[in-house]
Amino acid sequence: MIFTETLTKKFSSITAVAGVSLQVQQGDIFGLVGPDGAGKTTLIRMLCGLITPDSGSITMVDNAASGESSASFGYMPQKFSLYGDLTVMENINFFGAMYGLNGTIINQRADEILQITNLFRFKQRFADNLSGGMKQKLALTCALLARPRLLVLDEPTFGVDPESRKEFWKILYQLNQEGMTILVSTPYMDEAELCKRVGFMNNGRLVVVDSPKNMKSRYPYRILEIKCASRQPEIFQGLPEILESNFYGDKYRLVVQEAKIAEAAVVEFLQGRDIPLYRLKETKPTMEDVFVALAEKEVVEWSMSSQPVN
Ligand SMILES: Nc1ncnc2c1ncn2[C@@H]1O[C@H](COP(=O)(O)OP(=O)(O)OP(=O)(O)O)[C@@H](O)[C@H]1O
């Protein structure tokens, strides 16, 4: 559905997007993740035609619309400008008119979409009086008015509470099941888990593209979880067998190269300090672990040794 070839965008000396070749297939829920400033928004804005690439190409193909070479898409930007002193319905009318839709069509579609987004009963509420999550759902409602086959969302749930994020993703899944292709950037790794495929960007480059399941299975390290009598967050830092150590309330999560060797080192370390060990077990990496490894480490080897980025 979306194909880019070596897409590049510079802002004076900053290369925001560096030679990105990306494919988003019809029916995908494609997640774009990466640290702040990685280039996600710039890439999305180029895909939506809001800024012009310096080089490279973008092709949008919509197989569902025979004879059409460009896909109809809806875009929900990072900062969606709703009018706070207009009601939900007045905002919808405004954005519908911007899409060139007539009043009857807007009303029909609004009724339909507001049911999906659970905003129907708030039609007459001023946008300023909606909660954060409801504002995002209104922004989504507006982006859906043109009945897009491709929906592009830039961090749509940023700053929204976990329950509302869950609800928002239920809506995305429903839309996807009805045939909509979705490209979404997100800072939340629990949301990355929900995508069919994830593209990780860093320093303008698209470093890895894969399913969350494959990304986790390609994670090059092992994770140990430890419960012991110590509550010192830094206690394992500096042990040569441990690459990274984090302390979460009552347990340590260690990133290690060799699980058995690291386990032995931890046991010996704690015994040497008379610190009782309650539990030590290896656990599976999460998308959060994958993200941290990709963002922090030099990942050339990881991405090259795996299947090609497509
Ligand atoms: N209009 C602009 N002028 C100058 N520099 C820009 C502009 N837009 C983006 N940049 C720079 O390009 C780089 C990529 O920014 P971009 O917003 O695309 O990243 P991002 O991955 O979306 O980050 P975030 O998650 O923080 O929104 C950053 O260094 C940013 O400062």
Q: Which residues line ligand 1 (CB under 6 A)?
A: 11, 14, 16, 34, 36-42
Ligand 1 atom closest to 38 (CA): 21
Residue 126 lies in a domain: yes
| Structural domain harbouring 83 | 2-216
Residue 296 lies in a domain: no
Other beta carbons within 10 Å of 75 = 20
State the Cα–Cα distance between residues 297 and 295, nearest whole angstrom: 6
Residue 135 lies in a domain: yes
Q: Are residues 149 and 94 in the same domain?
A: yes
Residue 205 lies in a domain: yes
CA of 304 to the centre of ligand 1 (A): 26
Q: Are residues 191 and 269 in the same domain?
A: no
CA of 108 to the centre of ligand 1 (A): 38
Q: Are residues 158 and 277 in the same domain?
A: no
Residue 268 lies in a domain: yes
CA of 188 to the centre of ligand 1 (A): 18
Question: Which pTM does this prediction carry?
Answer: 0.86
CATH number of the domain bearing residue 110: 3.40.50.300
* 301 in Cβ contact with 218 (< 8 Å): no
Q: Are residues 132 and 201 in the same domain?
A: yes
State the Cα–Cα distance between residues 38 and 178, nearest whole angstrom: 31
| Tally of structural domains, the chain | 2
Other beta carbons within 10 Å of 51 = 17
Q: Are residues 171 and 26 in the same domain?
A: yes
Ligand 1 atom closest to 43 (CA): 18
Q: List CB contacts of 67: < 8 A, sequence separation 6 or more.
A: none
Residue 304 lies in a domain: no
Ligand 1 atom closest to 204 (CA): 14
Q: What is the largest CA-CA distance in the chain?
A: 77
Q: Are residues 201 and 248 in the same domain?
A: no
Closest CA to 107 of 125, 82, 89: 89
Residue 123 lies in a domain: yes
Residue 63 lies in a domain: yes
Q: Are residues 106 and 241 in the same domain?
A: no
Q: Are residues 200 and 252 in the same domain?
A: no
| Residue where a domain stops, chosen among 216, 244, 261 | 216
Q: Are residues 206 and 233 in the same domain?
A: no
Q: Are residues 260 and 171 in the same domain?
A: no
Q: Are residues 248 and 146 in the same domain?
A: no
In testing the pocket of ligand 1, which one of 9, 11, 36 has its CB within 8 Å of the most ligand atoms? 11
CA of 41 to the centre of ligand 1 (A): 7
Q: Are residues 9 and 136 in the same domain?
A: yes
Tens of pLDDT along the chain (310 residues) come to: 899 999 999 999 999 999 999 999 999 999 999 999 999 999 999 999 999 999 999 998 876 654 443 347 888 988 878 899 999 999 999 999 988 889 999 999 999 889 888 899 999 999 999 988 899 889 989 988 888 899 999 999 888 888 888 888 998 998 899 899 999 999 999 999 999 999 999 999 999 999 999 999 999 999 999 999 999 999 998 899 999 999 988 899 999 999 999 999 999 999 999 999 999 999 999 999 999 888 876 544 555 444 444 3
Q: What is the pLDDT at residue 302?
A: 56
